[in-house]
């Protein structure tokens, strides 16, 4: 089914030489998934998030069968490519490859980084979820492009994980050279305390994807991250 159109979308991927500078400059990472959009279509929520200022979109689907996951990913690839915003697929390097996504985000129980790279290639953005300094250092050693660290605060989006807190985040920042993305329970109310740790990037699910006004919520978080609020 690799239509001409899809081939064009592949061409929207970040060029290899753009990857590092993109990740350094990244501030607002928005994660969407059908469980977290308050019943609204994932693609339109992602579009609104981009309109508000989301600089990268991750599709996270923990329950969907591969076919439905793929179809959403493919639709999201279309809107992100048109907007010039990188697309990351959670967990599934195969789906990331199949839709020409910019990369994959791996959990501790997913494919090893090297295996995901064999599927996606050197230019792919590979991020890893980490929940301790040791996991963060391991991900760095194994060749991740960025790490997620969290949950910083307790969150209903990932309730099975204990909150790590701001001190642990600070510790990770002091030991890891890779771009660190703080995640978990971050809202406009607690973002000032998160920023005080020195972290430059946050990832959110509910604060944007579940918000009544998706674009306005993304815009507020971005403003705060850029220090202009
Ligand atoms: N990963 P919200 S915390 C998807 O710590 C995810 O690795 C986490 O959702 C981690 O912004 C988390 O709604 C949930 O709290 C983030």
pLDDT at 4 over 60: no
Mutate to test the pocket of ligand 1, among 45, 61, 153, 158 (most ligand atoms within 8 A of CB): 158
Q: Does residue 206's CB lie within 6 angstroms of at least one atom of ligand 1?
A: yes
pLDDT at 12 over 60: yes
Give me the mean pLDDT over the 123-151 stretch. Answer: 98
Taking the CA of residue 155 as reference, the ligand 1 atom at the shortest distance is 15
- Residue 5: C-alpha distances to residues 11, 94, 111, 131 (Å): 10, 19, 29, 39
pLDDT at 2 over 80: no
pTM for the full model?
0.96
- Residue 104: C-alpha distances to residues 131, 161, 179 (Å): 18, 21, 15
3 state DSSP class of 34: helix
Helix orientation angle between 42-52 and 214-225, rounded to the nearest 10 degrees: 40
129 is catalytic: yes
pLDDT at 5 over 80: no
pLDDT the model gives residue 3:
59
Taking the CA of residue 129 as reference, the ligand 1 atom at the shortest distance is 7
**Bigger pLDDT: 228 vs 119:** 119
25 is catalytic: no
| ipTM of this complex prediction, to 2 decimal places | 0.99
Task: Specify the residue for token string 């019943």.
Answer: 39
Give me the mean pLDDT over the 102-107 stretch. Answer: 98
53 contacts 222 by C-beta, under 8 angstroms: yes
102, 29, 103, 34: which is closest to 71 by C-alpha? Answer: 34
Q: pLDDT tier at 53 (50, 70, 90 boundaries)? A: very high
How confident is the prediction for the chain on average, in pLDDT?
95
Q: What percent of the chain has pLDDT over 70?
A: 95
pLDDT the model gives residue 16:
78
Task: Specify the residue for token string 């985000």.
Answer: 105
Please name the residue whose Cα sits nearest to atom 4 of ligand 1: 158
118 is catalytic: no
Q: Does residue 161's CB lie within 6 angstroms of at least one atom of ligand 1?
A: yes
pLDDT at 133 over 90: yes
| CA–CA separation, 12 and 80 (whole Å) | 9
Question: Of the listed 19, 92, 129, 201, which one is catalytic?
Answer: 129
Structure-block tokens of residue 67: 């076919």
Ligand 1 centre distance from Cα of residue 150 (Å):
7
3 state DSSP class of 94: helix
Give residue-wise pLDDT tens across range 89-98.
Answer: 999 999 999 9
């Amino acid at each position: 089914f690799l239509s001409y159109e899809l081939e064009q979308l592949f061409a929207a991927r970040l060029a290899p030489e753009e990857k590092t500078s993109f990740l350094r400059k990244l501030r607002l990472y928005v994660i969407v998934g059908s469980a977290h959009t308050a019943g609204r279509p994932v693609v339109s929520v992602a579009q609104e998030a981009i309109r508000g200022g989301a600089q990268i979109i991750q599709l996270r689907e923990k329950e969907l069968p591969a076919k439905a996951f793929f179809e959403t990913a493919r639709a999201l690839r279309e809107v992100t490519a048109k907007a010039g915003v990188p697309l990351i697929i959670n967990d599934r390097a195969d789906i990331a490859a199949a839709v020409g996504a910019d990369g994959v985000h791996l959990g501790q129980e997913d494919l090893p980084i090297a295996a995901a790279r064999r599927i996606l290639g050197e230019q792919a953005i590979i991020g890893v979820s980490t929940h301790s300094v040791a996991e963060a250092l391991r991900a760095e050693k194994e060749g991740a492009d960025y790490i997620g660290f969290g949950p910083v605060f307790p969150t209903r989006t990932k309730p099975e994980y204990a909150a790590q807190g701001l001190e642990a985040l600070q510790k990770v920042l002091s030991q890891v050279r890779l771009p660190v993305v703080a995640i978990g329970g971050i809202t406009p109310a607690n973002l000032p305390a998160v920023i005080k740790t020195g972290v430059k990037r946050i990832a959110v699910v509910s604060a944007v994807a579940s918000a009544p006004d998706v674009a306005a919520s993304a815009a507020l978080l971005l403003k705060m991250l850029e220090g202009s609020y």
